[in-house]
Structure 1
Amino acid sequence: MLTGFLPLGLAHAAPGPCGSPDETISRHLAAIQARDLPGIEATVTRGAALVLILPDGVRTDTREAYLRFHRAFFRDRSWRMRFEEVSRISTPSMTLVALKSSFRATPSSAPRSSWLSMGFGCEAGQWRLVFDQNTRLPEEAAD
C-alpha cells in the first residue's frame, strides 16, 4: 500500500485550546488510506454540518452524508491514495491544509492527481474536520 507523508517544518497552529493540529491531520489521512471508518469518525466534527465537495462537483453538507460517502468508498478494496502536504495556514481556532493527492483506482492503473483542501476547526479542545474539497487536476497539470 502506498503511504502518505507530511513534511515537517510547515506552519504550525498558534497556541490555543486545541494545540497543534498535526496529530489529527495525520490520523485523518492515515484513516483514509487504511479505509478505517472509526478512524475517520474520530477526526471529523461532532456537529451536523460538514461540507464535502468531490472532484465531479457533487457537494454534501452534513456529517452523516460525509460518513455515508466514506462507508461506500471504503468498500472498494482496490484503490490506493497518497498525500503530500503543500501548505498550511493555522490560527488558534481554524487550520486550512492544502494537499496534493494521488489516487489509483487499481494498483496498476495510472494515478490521478487532485488538490485536496481540508479545514479543521477547534471543537471542545480537539481539532475536527469541518470542510473537505477535492479538485481533480487535468492530466497535463498533474506532473
Structure 2
Amino acid sequence: MKRFFKILFLGFALMLETTQISEAAECDFDCTLQQHLNAIEKRDYPAFEKTLTKGKNLTLILPNGHFSESAEQFRAMMKEWFADQSWKLQYRLVSKQKSVDMASALLLVSYDEKDEHGKLHHLDYYLNLIFKKEGSHWALVHDQNTLIAKR
C-alpha cells in the first residue's frame, strides 16, 4: 500500500511539474512583459534574468548615452542596480507592438535615485523594451532609455 501511494505521489508531482513547465513555456509576450516589469518593481533579479535573451548580445542604451551590446555586461549592471535600494521608479505603458517573432513596449518612466550624499535626483524618460521570440519564449534583446528634456 505504501508503494502505491509513493507511485501516486510521484505521478502527481511529475504532472504538476510538467504543468508548470508548460505554463512557463506558453507565456506570451504580454505575460513576459508583465514578469519583466514585476521583477523590476520587486527587485527580483532571478525573475528578471529569466526574461532576458540567452544570446550574447543584449543592447543597452542609457539616458546618458552609454551604449553596450554585451548581455554579460547588461546582466552585471542590472544585478548591481537591483541590489541598490536608493532608487524607485513608476511607469506608464505608452504603447505595445507585436509581430510573430518580435515585440516592443514603450514606457514613460519617472525615476528617482539618491546619490551617495543622499541627494535625490529625478529623471523622466522613455524606456523602449524590445523582445524577440527564442523558441517558445519571449526574451529581452534591447533596452533603450531616452531622457525627456526638461522644459
| TM-score normalised by L of structure 1 | 0.79
- Tell me, what secondary structure is at the counterpart of 1:105? strand
* 2:96 is equivalent to residue 97 of structure 1: no
Q: Distance in 2 between matches of 1:50 and 1:72?
A: 17
From 130, 136, 141, give the equivalent of 1:125.
136
Q: Distance in 1 between matches of 2:138 and 2:43?
A: 20
Q: Write out per-residue CA displacement over residues 97-124 of structure 1, whole angstroms, 9 at most, x where no aligned residue.
A: 1110110114x94642100001000001
**Percent of aligned positions that are identical:** 32
Aligned to 1:68: 76
* 2:145 is equivalent to residue 137 of structure 1: no
Q: Distance in 2 between matches of 1:109 and 1:52?
A: 24
- Tell me, what secondary structure is at the counterpart of 1:77? coil
Q: Distance in 2 between matches of 1:115 and 1:138?
A: 11
* 2:121 is equivalent to residue 114 of structure 1: no
Kindly tell me the number of residue pairs found equivalent between the two proteins.
124
Paired residue type of 2:68: T
RMSD: 2.0
Q: Distance in 1 between matches of 2:120 and 2:38?
A: 21
- Tell me, what secondary structure is at the counterpart of 1:30? helix
| Structure with more helix by fraction | 2
* Unpaired runs of at least 5, structure 2: 1-24
Aligned to 2:86: 78
- Tell me, what secondary structure is at the counterpart of 2:76? helix
Over 4 Å off, 4+ runs: none
Q: Distance in 2 between matches of 1:18 and 1:95?
A: 16
Q: 1:18–1:92: 8 Å Cα contact kept in structure 2?
A: no
* 2:40 is equivalent to residue 29 of structure 1: no
* Unpaired runs of at least 5, structure 1: 1-16
Q: 2:96–2:104: 8 Å Cα contact kept in structure 1?
A: yes
Classify 1:70/1:19 alpha carbon distance in 2 versus 1 (closer, same or farther; 3 Å). Answer: closer
- Once the 2 structures are TM-superposed, how far is the Cα of residue 61 of structure 1 from its aligned partner? 0.6
Paired residue type of 1:139: K
Q: Distance in 1 between matches of 2:106 and 2:143?
A: 10
Larger Rg: 2
Paired residue type of 1:124: G
Classify 1:86/1:59 alpha carbon distance in 2 versus 1 (closer, same or farther; 3 Å). Answer: same
